[in-house]
Amino acid sequence: MLEIRNLSVTYPDGTPALQNLSISLGTREVLGIIGESGSGKSTLALAIMRLLPPDANVKGEIIYNGKDILRLSKSELERVRGTEIAMIFQDALSAFDPLMRVGPQIVEKAVTNKTLGYKEARARAIDLMRGLGVTNPEARFDAYPHELSGGLRQRAFIAMGLFQKPKIIILDEPTSALDVITQAQLIQTIRGLKEGGLSMIFITHDIALASTICDRVAVLYAGKMMEYGSVHQVIHRPIHPYTQGLIESTPTLTSVRRGLKAMKGYLPNLKSLPGGCRFHPRCPFATDICRSVDPELAELSDGRLVACHMAADSK
Amino acid sequence: MANTKLNGEIMFGISVILFFTITSFFGKYFIPINPSVQHLSAAFQPPSWSHPFGTDYLGRDVFARTLEGGSVSIEVGVAAGLLTVVIGGLVGIFSAYYGYKVDITIQRVVDIILSIPLIVLVLVLVALFGSSIALIVFAIGILTWPSLARITRAETLSLKERDFVYAEIVAGASGIHVVFRHLIPNQAKTILVYSGLAMSSATLIQAALSYLGFTGGSVSWGFDLYMAQQYIFNGSWWMTFFPGAAITLTSLGFYMISEGLRKMWR
């Protein structure tokens, strides 16, 4: 459905936020993008929505419906946004204009474009909110954003994203601002959307969360894809040392008792990446070749892609 | 939400402006004295029952002239203030919202206009194109917008990074829609507070222009002040006092509305 080819993004200050990323999203698929803060996962979402600052250097192609999103005209872009590809981000409170009631903001775009009258739009928005688990949606429709709880706000925000029936929805850490219970409920809702036939890109730093809803997962590190494969491959049998480290540092009931294993070191400064493999200063298995040659993404026998010298050897 | 109780400043400002609006536009129907008729034999009369504000050096009634002179002050103050706010508000918001080259170009224009002494530029425009009220309004409007443009630009720069603006763009909204539906309502208070200031200073600029002779063709406080200043020292205080007090009060009235709004929304 959506195919990203050789996407590189460099910010005007010279920061290479994404390097040579190729990834694709199938119909009715949920693609997880996992990485630490600063790994480039949000940059990817912004690039797909064409929200990067105009002076950022963007190379590559993002093909949707046979057309390159990066080369769409302004009016074509306005048509694609919202009706074809929608995006939900982390903080639903700031996603609503504080001066307007929630409902009118959900239906705003469709009503200004005269695709729907206000009454039909209101009825549809209320149905949609009810379907997303908003209790008493008629009252919420006329409420101001600050009058809703965090979970309700996030659901209302998802309703806003879904209102124009997009084919793809990008979820940029949609549950990070919520408590665990609300988070679990929202994940149920998102699973329901997947059953409903929506394709999704799910951006998160929470590997456990990704494993519960994604079909395929890409792990980003410092702007580069490190491992890419099915959830089963990447999360249950990780090969790249970075993915392994991420999973080992995720608390589970048993690991807490054993003591968490933290990954040593920090994400490198993107402007002065270490030579060779960008992960080698933190990698427990680093050898001489890792310090001098940047590994290519290579396909393993089980079909996954891994950028690691050690993985290629064990093939 | 903000306190919406009208405070003393607003009440004062509104009363003063309403008072001058009513007296200057409708006063002539109740005070049947022609402000331009001369009675040389009755010149330099101090305030009395027949001439409450006295008479000037040509024997004209200062009370009638003070009533009549207010209309041009209020017309120019309101019209030029509004023009300034519309131009300045929109230019600042679009400048910040579109950013980059648009912003840089507009901000350099702003710098240039701000660097030229305002009254000199208005004088040049009025001297070149005549001094009709419309032209005075236009001249003040196109020369005083930059200060507001800077304010709305700064506010928009911060507003446009808020998630709800991104949420709108992601939903496919056009730039015009974002500006008029979200960016303007979210800084309406700033713009309203500034519009009181703009009207206050437009009133003063109009007074200064008519003091220099560009009256817009009608009786005006500023021009009366100019004509009366040479008689201050022979004791005819009423000729300068009443038009001067009227200018001060009108300007203060607009200013107090602005100040009151600011306090109310603080």
pLDDT value at residue A205: 85
pLDDT value at residue B153: 94
Asked whether residue A183 falls in the same domain as residue A134, the answer is no
Confidence check: pLDDT of A215 > 80: yes
Instruction: Read off the tokens for B115.
Output: 């660097």
How far is residue A85's CA from residue A115's CA, in Å, rounded to a whole number?
17
Q: Which of A133, A150, A165 is the last residue of a domain?
A: A165
What is the span of the domain harbouring residue B213?
73-265
Q: Which of A115, A134, A165 is the last residue of a domain?
A: A165
**A241 found inside a domain:** yes
Asked whether residue A107 falls in the same domain as residue A32, the answer is no
How far is residue A141's CA from residue A155's CA, in Å, rounded to a whole number?
12
pLDDT above 70 coverage of chain A, percent: 95
Residue A96 makes CB contacts below 8 A (sequence gap 6+) with A102, A105, A145, A153, A156, A157, B164, B167
- pLDDT averaged over every residue in chain A: 85
Residue A81 makes CB contacts below 8 A (sequence gap 6+) with A49, A50, B169, B170, B171, B172
Asked whether residue A191 falls in the same domain as residue A253, the answer is yes
Confidence check: pLDDT of B78 > 70: yes
Query: Minimum mean pLDDT among A302-311, B32-41, B202-211: which range?
Result: B32-41
Confidence check: pLDDT of A13 > 80: yes
What is the span of the domain harbouring residue A103?
94-165
CB A292 within 8 A of CB A275: yes
Asked whether residue A60 falls in the same domain as residue A184, the answer is yes
Q: Give the model's confidence band at B95: pLDDT under 50 very low, under 70 low, under 90 confident, else very high.
A: very high
With CB atoms and an 8 Å threshold, state whether A78 touches B100: no
**B54 found inside a domain:** no
Confidence check: pLDDT of B223 > 50: yes
b/e A252-275 (16+ beta carbons within 10 angstroms → b): eeeeeeeeeeebeeebbebeebbe
Asked whether residue A143 falls in the same domain as residue A288, the answer is no
How far is residue A223's CA from residue A60's CA, in Å, rounded to a whole number?
14
Out of A86, A89, A99, closest to residue B163 by CB: A89
Out of A49, A94, A100, closest to residue B170 by CB: A49
ipTM attached to this prediction: 0.76
Q: What's the average model confidence in pLDDT over A244-257?
A: 72
Question: Does A96 lie at the interface with B, CB-CB under 8 angstroms?
Answer: yes
**A137 found inside a domain:** yes
Which residues does chain B have within 8 Å of residue A94's beta carbon, measured at their own beta carbons? Answer: 162-164
**A89 found inside a domain:** no
Asked whether residue A60 falls in the same domain as residue A175, the answer is yes
CB B239 within 8 A of CB B43: no
Q: What's the average model confidence in pLDDT over A298-303?
A: 82
Stated as kind and residue range, the H or E segment containing A151 is helix A150-162
Which residues does chain A have within 8 Å of residue B99's beta carbon, measured at their own beta carbons? Answer: 54
Chain B residues with CB under 8 Å of a chain A CB are: 99-100, 162-164, 166-174, 177, 181-182, 185-186
Asked whether residue A218 falls in the same domain as residue A291, the answer is yes
Q: Give the model's confidence band at B4: pLDDT under 50 very low, under 70 low, under 90 confident, else very high.
A: low
Stated as kind and residue range, the H or E segment containing A172 is strand A168-172
Q: Give the model's confidence band at A259: pLDDT under 50 very low, under 70 low, under 90 confident, else very high.
A: low
pLDDT value at residue B1: 44
**B42 found inside a domain:** no
Min Cα distance A162 → chain B (Å) is: 10
Quick one: B162 exposed, middle or buried, by C-beta within 10 A (0-12, 13-18, 19+)?
Answer: middle
Q: Which of A122, A145, A165 is the last residue of a domain?
A: A165
**B3 found inside a domain:** no
Under DSSP, is residue A227 helix (H, G, I), strand (E, B) or coil?
Answer: strand
Asked whether residue A286 falls in the same domain as residue A252, the answer is yes
Question: Does A86 lie at the interface with B, CB-CB under 8 angstroms?
Answer: yes
Q: What's the average model confidence in pLDDT over B119-134?
A: 85
Q: Give the model's confidence band at A315: pLDDT under 50 very low, under 70 low, under 90 confident, else very high.
A: very low
Tens-digit pLDDT profile for residues B133-163: 888 898 888 888 999 999 999 999 988 888 8
pLDDT value at residue B252: 93
pLDDT value at residue A151: 82
Confidence check: pLDDT of B184 > 80: yes
pLDDT value at residue A254: 63
**B41 found inside a domain:** no
Asked whether residue A157 falls in the same domain as residue A41, the answer is no
Stated as kind and residue range, the H or E segment containing A216 is strand A216-221
With CB atoms and an 8 Å threshold, state whether A87 touches B181: no
Under DSSP, is residue A85 helix (H, G, I), strand (E, B) or coil?
Answer: strand
Confidence check: pLDDT of A262 > 90: no
Tens-digit pLDDT profile for residues A52-98: 888 889 999 999 988 898 988 888 888 888 889 999 888 777 888 88
With CB atoms and an 8 Å threshold, state whether A51 touches B177: no
Better-predicted residue by pLDDT, B65 or A31: A31
**A102 found inside a domain:** yes
Min Cα distance A95 → chain B (Å) is: 4
Residue A45: closest C-alpha in chain B: B170
Asked whether residue A62 falls in the same domain as residue A114, the answer is no
Residue B159: closest C-alpha in chain A: A97
How far is residue B81's CA from residue B197's CA, in Å, rounded to a whole number?
8
Confidence check: pLDDT of A19 > 80: yes
What CATH code is carried by the domain that includes residue A234? 3.40.50.300
Under DSSP, is residue A90 helix (H, G, I), strand (E, B) or coil?
Answer: coil
Q: Domain count for chain A, please give it.
A: 2
**B85 found inside a domain:** yes
Amino acid identity at B68: E
pLDDT value at residue A31: 92
Q: Give the model's confidence band at B3: pLDDT under 50 very low, under 70 low, under 90 confident, else very high.
A: low
Min Cα distance A221 → chain B (Å) is: 26
Confidence check: pLDDT of B8 > 50: yes
- pLDDT averaged over every residue in chain B: 86
pLDDT value at residue A257: 62
What CATH code is carried by the domain that includes residue B191? 1.10.3720.10
Q: CA A199: distance to chain centroid?
A: 12
Best of A52, A97, A108 to mutate (most B CBs within 10 Å, chain B):
A97
Tens-digit pLDDT profile for residues A116-162: 788 888 988 998 888 888 888 888 999 998 888 888 888 888 888 88
Asked whether residue A31 falls in the same domain as residue A58, the answer is yes
Which residues does chain B have within 8 Å of residue A79's beta carbon, measured at their own beta carbons? Answer: 172
Asked whether residue A74 falls in the same domain as residue A153, the answer is no
Question: Does A82 lie at the interface with B, CB-CB under 8 angstroms?
Answer: yes
Confidence check: pLDDT of A217 > 80: yes
With CB atoms and an 8 Å threshold, state whether A55 touches B162: no
Q: Domain count for chain B, please give it.
A: 1
pLDDT value at residue B92: 93
